[in-house]
Amino acid sequence: MAFDLIRRIELLRLDYLFSVLIPIFLAIYLNELNPFNHFDIIIGFTLLGITGNTWNDFFDMKNPEDKLTKERVEGYHSREIFSIGLGSLFLGITLLIRTCIQNFMNAIILGLIVFLVLLYCVSLKSVPILNNIILVFSHVILPYYIIKIDSAVSLLWLSEIVILIAFFLFSVTAQFVHEVIDGEALFKEYSLKTCQIIIWICSISTLIFAILGIFLLTDFYFLPFLFIPFGIIFTFRKPTRSTQGVKDVGILLGNLLLVYFICLIILRMNGFA
């Protein structure tokens, strides 16, 4: 029974939700907001993240070369995987109705997010570089703006822009690493040497913007983020496909960063950060 429960939970791919939630918590932390005022948005995007994960599997399970997805959805029909995503979509959008009614711009942004994620799943996943730019834009930049608009704070200031660019580049780099390890779009289109160069350029760019952002913010809590790009550069110091273990470490670090941000927000709410 316990094994069956774990298998059902694995279908939701909850370990990937940090990619959706960290940008929201970043907006809450930088703008000194109360997360409970935006709790419907947080849970709403959690559910939309589950939709994205399950629908991604819905399309990938038709690919005979994708063994990981095949193993994860073994015993389930495609319509069942699709239904999980559809139910999660309705629940998530319902929770986001409040902010969409109060802020019409958020309704437009939400529609754009759903459109871009579907576009990625249906036709852009096999297009290297562009696919990850579109995916990360929908997962990082747009949710960040939804929180900003919902809170009615000033749109962006310089240090915030720099940090947001750093997180965007970091997320794109992580997606490139993911594709090289899994043998997906970037790996299929380019040589390992070219993949290494692309990952190095993105990692170095992330470091530059992260260092500048920390300097402008004068917030030492962002210092740990500098180690991850260094780790990626070290991992790809040679043209290599790397191993599944590297991908697993990246997912674990992403979830640890999520916990870290929750801690920072609680500290700030109590006047300690």
Tens of pLDDT, residues 43-70? 999 999 999 889 888 888 877 777 777 7
244 vs 14, residue with greater confidence: 14
**Which residue bears the tokens 């709410």?**
269
pLDDT at 2 over 70: no
Q: Is 184 left (phi over 0), alpha (psi -120 to 50) or beta?
A: beta
**Which residue bears the tokens 């920390």?**
214
**How far is Cα of residue 247 from the mean position of the Cα atoms in its chain?**
14
- The whole-angstrom separation of Cα 245 and Cα 68 is 14
pLDDT band for position 238 (cuts 50, 70, 90)? confident
- The whole-angstrom separation of Cα 256 and Cα 24 is 15
- The whole-angstrom separation of Cα 172 and Cα 200 is 12
Neighbours of 230 (CB within 10 A): 12
pLDDT at 240 over 80: no
pTM of the model: 0.91
**For position 272, what pLDDT does the model report?**
74
pLDDT at 204 over 80: yes
Provide φ and ψ at 173, rounded to 5°. Answer: -60, -45
- The whole-angstrom separation of Cα 259 and Cα 202 is 25
pLDDT digits (tens, 9 = 90+) for 119-157: 988 888 889 999 999 999 999 999 999 999 999 887 788
